[in-house]
Amino acid sequence: MREDKGMDAADMGTDLQQVLISREEIESRLDDMAEKIDADYAGKDLLLVGVLKGAVYVMADLSRRLRRSAPMDWMAVSSYGSGTKSSGVVRILKDLDTDLTGRHVLIVEDIIDSGLTLSWLLGNLTSRGAASVRIATLLRKPEAVKVEVDVTYVGFDIPNEFVVGYGLDYAESYRNLPFIATLRPEVYGG
Ligand code: XMP
Ligand code: MG
């Protein structure tokens, strides 16, 4: 069952600074989030919208914990380049295939940092005639709390540090770590 175990910090050599959130902690928190989502959307037609690529793991693990069928669709937007700072510019790289008219949409995200991406996305999806649009994110950084973005489901509030793993990358690497970690500053020239 090699694939079930996944990487541990030792497999990353010296790139990682610290494991912030373990695989077990993520899984247990996703259990709670799924339970709440099940209750809140009981009797409603729920559409999960994932934001590529970071939300792939959250979507896979959260959606499989729901005790209901929930269709999913995907969007790709760009707000970050390959660095670690938000550009503030949101561009749609891949749009949804689904008509949102009358749908109850739950945006599934990996992380909310400045909140720029999600506040833009919230407005964009709402303007398409969705019956409701809410946000579920695994991680939230302190800056996001200052922004007027109403996030209904939050996994973990984390310090204002650049993190990788569980979908989050630095220059496309480290997404497949099964936990959330910080990188040694030397790795990204910090
Ligand atoms: P904003 O600032 O618009 O950013 O809320 C959201 C997007 O920025 C990326 N992001 C990160 N990616 N480690 C990453 O790998 C981080 O610590 C981090 N902080 C923000 C991410 O793509 C997110 O969707
Ligand atoms: Mg993202």
Lowest pLDDT segment from 4-18, 35-49, 101-115, 149-163: 4-18
Q: Cβ(162) to ligand 1 under 6 A?
A: yes
Q: Cβ(26) to ligand 1 under 6 A?
A: no
d(CA 14, CA 186): 10
Q: Atom 18 of ligand 1 has which residue's CA nearest to it?
A: 162
pLDDT in tens, 11-54: 766 789 999 999 999 999 999 999 999 999 999 999 999 999 99
CB atoms within 10 A of CB 84: 15
Ligand 1 atom closest to 86 (CA): 2
Structure tokens given for 5: 């175990």
Inter-residue contact 94 to 52 (CB < 8 Å): yes
Structure tokens given for 81: 């380049």
Threshold 0.85, pTM exceeds = yes
% of the chain exceeding 90 in pLDDT: 73
Residue 178 is given by DSSP the state S
Inter-residue contact 144 to 131 (CB < 8 Å): no
Q: Cβ(117) to ligand 1 under 6 A?
A: yes
Cα 110 to middle of ligand 2, angstroms: 6
Cα 77 to middle of ligand 2, angstroms: 8
Catalytic residue annotation: 113
For residue 78, give every residue at least 6 positions away whose Cβ sits within 8 Å of its Cβ, in sequence order, or none.
Answer: 87, 89, 90, 91, 93
